[in-house]
Structure 1
Amino acid sequence: MKKLFTTLSNIWKIEELKKRILFTLSILIIYRVVCQVVLPGVDPNQLAHTEKSGLLGLLDMFAGGAFSKASIVALGVMPYISASIVVQLLGIAVPSFQKMQKEGESGRKKLTQYTRYLTVAITIVQAIGYVKTQVPQNAIVIDPATFYIISAFVLTAGTLFVMWLGEKITDKGIGNGTSLIIMVGIIARLPLAIQQEVNSVFAGNDGGLIRLVLEIVALYAVVMFTILIVQGVRKVPVQYAKRVVGNRQVGGVRQYIPLKVNAAGVMPIIFAQALMFVPSALIGVFPKLQDSWLHQYVDITSLTYNLTFAFLIIAFTFFYTAITVNPMQMSDDMKKNGGFIPGIKPGLATSNFIDEVISKITFPGALFLAIIAILPSLAIKVGVQQEFAHFFGGTSLLILVGVVLDTLQQIESYLLMRHYDGLMKTGRVTGRTGIPAATGTTGAAL
C-alpha cells in the first residue's frame, strides 16, 4: 500500500502527466454527462423499461447505456470504429490505399480524413435506422417526420462530437481516446450489474456470501487469464549488422520481434458475434422459423450455440491475423535496416519462418480467445445474472483489460523517463522496460 501511495505521489510530481490525466478525466466526465441528454422530441419516461438484447445489447453496452436511452450520442463511436475497420481492410486490398499507408505522416493524415468522411456516411445511415426501429412511437412527442429528420442530424453530430472527444484524449490526454470512451461505457454498467448479482445471491438459498466470494475469486482468475493472453508474445531474435556511421559504430546488437499470441485482438469475437445474431434476426422476421433448427442459436447457453461461436472465433482469428500481419513486409523492413534472424537467410526464407511462427502461436491464441468468449455463457449456466456474467469474458472483458494495460503502459513510460519506479514493484506491464522491436506491424483494432 505504501508503494502505491508513493507511486501516486510521483505521478502528481510530473506536471505534464498530471495535466494529461486531469484532461482525460474531464473529457470522460463530459462524455458521460452528454450520454444522459435525450434526443429532442422524445419522452424519456416511455424509454424507462426498454431493454436491448443480442447485437443491440452489445451496442448499448459499448455506448454505456446511451443506446437504450435514445441519447444524442446513442450511436457512440461504433460508426467511427466501423469506418476505421473498412479503411484498414482497404489498405490491404486496394493499391492506392496501400501507397498512402507507406507515405508516412502525409499518408496517415489522408487516411484519417477518409475515415472521417466514411464515418459521416455510416452514421447517417445508422441514425436513420436507429430512429425508425429503436425509438418507440409512443415516446415521440412531436411530428414524426420532423422528429426523424432532426434526430438524424443530431445523432450524426453526436457521433462526430464523441469522435472529436476521443481524438482530443489521444492528442492531449493519456491512452487511446476511442478505446477509453468505450471502456467508460462498459464500466458504467458494472455498478448495476453488481447490484443485481448481490440481490440475486442474497435473495435465494444457494450460498449467499460464500457464493458471492467464489464468484469474485472466479472473476479475478478470469481477468488474470485474460491479461496473460493479451500480453503473451513470442519473441523472435533479430541481429543487426555492425555499421560505421561517421566516427561511430552502430548496430551489432540483438533485438526482438514481439509476435503477439493474440494479434487479432477483440475483432474475431465481434465478427463472430455479428454472425451469431443472424439466426435470431431471421426468426424475428420469419416467426415460423421458431420451430426450426435455428432456435438452437437463440439460446446463448446452448451447446450448439457455444460450439459454433467458438469455431467462428478460431476461424476469424486466423483470417484477421492473416490480413493484418504481413511477414513479407516485416522481412523486407528487416533487410532494409540490415537485420536478420540468426540462422535464417534474409528475404523469402525469413518471411516463411515468421509466417510459420505466427501460424504456430495463432492456434493456441485463437483457442484461448474462444474460451474467454464463451465464459459468460458458462457463468449464466451456473446461475450468475446475465448483466454481471458479461464481465466474466467476451468482448467487454477483453476491451477493459486491453485498454487498462495500454493506459498503464503509457503512465509507466512517463514515470520511468523521470527515473521514478513504475506502478508495480514486481512483474511488469508489457512495454515497461521496452521490448526492442524490429519494424513490422501486428496491429489489432480496439
Structure 2
Amino acid sequence: MLKEALLPIFSFLPQVRSPTYRVPFKEKLKWTGVILILYFILTQIPLFGLSATSVDQFAQLRAVMAGSFGSILTLGIGPIVSASIILQLLVGGKILNLDLSQPDDKAFFQGTQKLLAIIFTLFEGGVLVLTGALSASSPEFVWIMILQITIGGILIIFLDEVISKWGFGSGVGLFIVAGVASQIIVGAFNPLATSVSPGVPSGIIPQFIYLLTTSQPDFTILIPIISLIAVFLVVVYAESLRVEIPLSFGGVKGARGKYPLKFIYASNMPVILTSALLLNVQLFAAMFQKLGFPILGTVSNGRAVSGLAYYLTTPTLSTVMTNPLAVLFYALVFVGACILFAWLWVELSNIGPKDVAKQLHGMGMQIPGHRSSRTHFERILKKYIPAITVMGGATVGLLAFGADLTGSLGGGTGVLLTVGIVYKLYEEIAQEQLMDMHPMLRNFLGGN
C-alpha cells in the first residue's frame, strides 16, 4: 500500500541521471571538484533578512552537519541524515519490509529518503526561523528566510546525489570534510581577523607566535591543536585495526588470501547519525517551548538550559567540574546510540554475516580446513561481525565524546569523522586509479 501511494510522488521528484557507463577516474575527479567549489560558493551566500542578533544554537554540531550558519546552507546535511535515521529505524524494526539487495526495494528506499529529506528541510528551516533561533530582522522576512533555507537544503540534497553517482564517495562525507578542513585552517592560521584583545591575531599559531615575541607565552592556547593531533593519531590507529579471515580459492590449488574485517566496521556513520539525532532533540525542544509545552527542556539565548535537551547538549571540560552527572548521562546516551546505529547500518548496508557469506561463497572462496558451504561461512562470520560492530560503534562513540570534551580544533567529532572519511576516500581513489591503469583488474576488484 505504501509503495503504491509513494511511487507516483517519486515520479515528480527531480533526480540526477545515473551514468550509463563506467565513469572514468578523471571525470569522477572533475565532478567531485566542481561540486566542492559549488558547496563553498553556497556557504558564502548570506540569508537575506537575517537579524544581526541571531545566535548559532548548534555551533557545537555545526562541523558534523556541514552547515554554515547565516548562509542558505545553514541546515547543511541535517535533513539528509535525519531522513536516513527515520528510514533505518523503520526498516530495522521491520515496519518497512524492504530487502535492500533487491533493485526495486533499493530504489524505493532511495526515493523515500529523498522525499523525507525535502520534508525535513522545510520542517527544520521553519522551526529555526519561527522559534527565533534564526531571527528575522523584520516580520515580513520570516517566510522569505524559510524559503531561502529550503532552497539551500534542497540544493545540498541534489549536490550529494551528483557526488554519489558521478564522483568519489558521498556528498555527505565530502561536505563534512570541507567544513572541518576550513574550520581548522581558519582557526589555526587566520592572521587577518583580530581576537578579543585589539592587535592580537585570532589564529592560534599567529597568536602564539605574537605572544612569544612579546615575552607573554601562553601555552594553553595550543591545547586545541594538541588535541587535534592526538585525535588524528588515535583515529588513524583505530582505522588500521582489523580481523583477517584466511581464505582459499576452491578452483585454484594453493591460491590463498585474507578477508579483512575492519575494527571500525560500520565506518563513522553511527557518529553522524547520532549527532543528527541530538540536533533534532534541540530543534524539537525549541519548537515545543515556542508552543508553550517545554517537555524537552527550555532554551535560552540559543542554548538548552534545562530538561532532556540540556542533558543531550555536547558538554565541555568545564561541565565535568560543574555537573559530572550530566556529562555521564550524555556519554551513555551518545555511545549507546552509536552502537544502535552501527548495528542498523551493518544490517541495511548488506555487510552483515549473511550477506558477506553469500558474496564470498558466490566467488568460490572457502576457509582452509572447513567445508565450503554458505551456512558454514555465515557461522564463522557471526563469531566476528556482530562483536566488532558493537565494539567499533562503542569505540567511535567514545572517541567522538572524548574529542569533543577536549575542544579540539575543528570540533572533536568533526576531526574524527574527517580522518575516517578521508581514509576511505583515499582507498576509493587509489582503487579507481588502479583500475584505470589496469583495466583487467576491474572484474577482480568489482568495477563495472
1:4-403 matches, cutoff 5 A: 17-40=25-48, 42-43=49-50, 46-47=51-52, 50-53=54-57, 56-62=58-64, 64=66, 66=68, 68-69=69-70, 71-94=71-94, 97-99=97-99, 101-104=100-103, 106-135=104-133, 137=135, 139-141=136-138, 143=140, 147-194=141-188, 195-198=202-205, 201=208, 208=217, 216=225, 219-242=228-251, 253-270=255-272, 274=277, 282-284=296-298, 299-301=315-317, 302=320, 303-323=324-344, 324-325=346-347, 326-344=352-370, 346=373, 348-362=375-389, 364-366=391-393, 368-379=395-406, 386=407, 389-391=408-410, 393-394=412-413, 396-403=414-421
3-state secondary structure, aligned to 1:167? helix
Q: Output the amino acid matched with 1:80.
A: I
> How many angstroms does 1:177 deviate by?
2.3
8 A Cα contact 1:174 1:410, kept in partner: yes
8 A Cα contact 1:235 1:257, kept in partner: yes
Q: Output the amino acid matched with 2:81.
A: I
Query: CA 1:180/1:228 → structure 2, altered by over 3 Å: closer, same or farther?
Result: same
8 A Cα contact 1:268 1:313, kept in partner: no
8 A Cα contact 2:298 2:309, kept in partner: no
> How many angstroms does 1:400 deviate by?
0.9
> How many angstroms does 1:417 deviate by?
3.7
Instruction: State the TM-score, normalizing by the size of structure 1.
Output: 0.69
3-state secondary structure, aligned to 1:87? helix
8 A Cα contact 1:175 1:407, kept in partner: yes
The aligned residue for residue 407 of structure 1 is 425
* Residues 175-201 of structure 1: CA deviation (Å, up to 9, x unaligned): 322311222122232234224534765
> How many angstroms does 1:276 deviate by?
9.9
8 A Cα contact 1:241 1:338, kept in partner: yes
Computed over aligned residues only, the root mean square deviation of the Cα atoms, in angstroms, reads 4.2
8 A Cα contact 1:296 1:305, kept in partner: yes
* Residues 186-221 of structure 1: CA deviation (Å, up to 9, x unaligned): 223223422453476565999838666786455334
For structure 2, the residue ranges without an aligned partner over 5 or more in a row are: 1-22, 189-201, 286-295
Query: CA 1:350/1:415 → structure 2, altered by over 3 Å: closer, same or farther?
Result: closer
Q: Output the amino acid matched with 2:138.
A: V
> How many angstroms does 1:160 deviate by?
1.6
Q: Output the amino acid matched with 1:393.
A: G
> How many angstroms does 1:161 deviate by?
1.2
8 A Cα contact 1:167 1:178, kept in partner: no
Instruction: State the TM-score, normalizing by the size of structure 2.
Output: 0.69
Query: What is the alpha-carbon distance in structure 2 between the residues aligned to residue 36 and residue 50 of structure 1?
Result: 17
Query: CA 1:236/1:38 → structure 2, altered by over 3 Å: closer, same or farther?
Result: same
Query: What is the alpha-carbon distance in structure 2 between the residues aligned to residue 20 and residue 276 of structure 1?
Result: 32
* Aligned-pair identity (%): 21
For structure 1, the residue ranges without an aligned partner over 5 or more in a row are: 1-14, 243-249, 380-385, 421-432, 439-446
> 305-314 vs 21-30, which deviates more?
305-314
3-state secondary structure, aligned to 2:260? strand
Q: Output the amino acid matched with 2:42.
A: V
> How many angstroms does 1:419 deviate by?
5.0
Query: CA 1:361/1:34 → structure 2, altered by over 3 Å: closer, same or farther?
Result: closer
8 A Cα contact 2:24 2:436, kept in partner: no
Query: CA 1:61/1:279 → structure 2, altered by over 3 Å: closer, same or farther?
Result: closer
> How many angstroms does 1:132 deviate by?
0.7
> 160-169 vs 268-277, which deviates more?
268-277
Query: CA 1:133/1:30 → structure 2, altered by over 3 Å: closer, same or farther?
Result: same
Query: What is the alpha-carbon distance in structure 2 between the residues aligned to residue 58 and residue 408 of structure 1?
Result: 27
Query: What is the alpha-carbon distance in structure 2 between the residues aligned to residue 38 and residue 305 of structure 1?
Result: 36
Query: CA 1:405/1:76 → structure 2, altered by over 3 Å: closer, same or farther?
Result: same
Q: Output the amino acid matched with 2:431.
A: S
The aligned residue for residue 198 of structure 2 is none
8 A Cα contact 1:75 1:155, kept in partner: yes
3-state secondary structure, aligned to 1:258? strand
Instruction: Count how many residue pairs are aligned between Structure 1 and Structure 2.
Output: 380
Query: What is the alpha-carbon distance in structure 2 between the residues aligned to residue 437 and residue 232 of structure 1?
Result: 22
> How many angstroms does 1:79 deviate by?
0.8
3-state secondary structure, aligned to 2:368? coil
